[in-house]
Amino acid sequence: MTDIATLEPLFARKVGEIAATVPGATSVFRRFGIDFCCHGDVRLDEAARGRSVDLASLEHALGALDADETLPPEQDSAAMIDHVLSRYHEVHRSQLPELILLARKVEQVHAGKPGVPAGLADTLQAALGELEVHMKKEELILFPAMRRKGAGALDGPITQLRHEHVDHGELVERITELTGDFTVPEGGCGTWRALYAGAAQFKDDLIEHIHLENNILFPRFESSH
């Protein structure tokens, strides 16, 4: 069971640790705009201050979660790696090419109209390129090492990949900005709506992907944990 009351005060706990151990916390963080994946190593009070979020309201929302809800059984590392590969790597590779096509169409057909996401296609193209290189590093180097090792420190490659996760977070922020937080202008066509719906899903998927690695999988293979 996860009993929030028996742990140190919420404000003093790191955002990533809360996201990894308190059921439902990620949805609360998403609602308040708290970055729990790329910057999960900051305390809750610092994260709230950085986003100009009322700490008391944030703590209340987290405290209202069902403290008796059990987390899913902890997967072993090999099973978690398999999940990352099928749920996130494969999905990103199918999501992004389609989103790039949709973005180019919207930018061309609606060029000059209010709210057109100029530059979105190029940003998505950059995301595809960066993610492909990143995922290959995991698939060819890090994940095989984790499967062989079972446990123990792999600090070098993990540190590099954590830095790349920060870059991915910045791309997500840029995509969110270009789309006006995925808000389709009044009268936007079906392609525009499909683009923003897909881009919002990509954002959610990437955030969950990074959270799973940064806060749950990677710490198992870092000497500081």
**pLDDT of 127-165, one tens digit each?**
999 999 999 999 999 999 999 875 557 899 999 999 999
Sequential DSSP letters for the chain: ---GGGSSPGGGSBHHHHHHHSTTHHHHHHHHT---STTTTSBHHHHHHHTT--HHHHHHHHHTS-TTPPPPPPPPHHHHHHHHIIIIIHHHHHHHHHHHHHHHHHHHHTTTSTT--TTHHHHHHHHHHHHHHHHHHIIIIIHHHHHHHSSS--HHHHHHHHHHHHHHHHHHHHHHHHTTTT-PPTT--HHHHHHHHHHHHHHHHHHHHHHIIIIIIGGGG-TT-
pLDDT of residue 84: 95
User: pLDDT digits over 18-68, tens only?
Assistant: 887 776 787 788 889 888 877 788 999 999 999 999 999 999 888 877 544
State pTM to two decimals. 0.74
pLDDT of residue 54: 92
Tokens of 164: 């790349």
* Residue 143 contacts residue 81 (beta carbons within 8 Å): yes
Asked whether the CA dihedral 76, 82, 87, 91 is positive or negative, the reply is positive
Tokens of 73: 């059984």
Asked whether the CA dihedral 163, 167, 170, 176 is positive or negative, the reply is negative
- Amino acid in position 28: V
Q: What ranges do the domains of the chain cover? A: 4-63, 77-221
As a whole number of angstroms, the distance between CA 137 and CA 157 comes to 9
Rg (CA), the chain: 19
Sequential DSSP letters for 46-94: HHHHHTT--HHHHHHHHHTS-TTPPPPPPPPHHHHHHHHIIIIIHHHHH
Residue with token string 């998505």? 124
Percent of the chain past pLDDT 70, that is, above it, reads 90
pLDDT of residue 152: 59
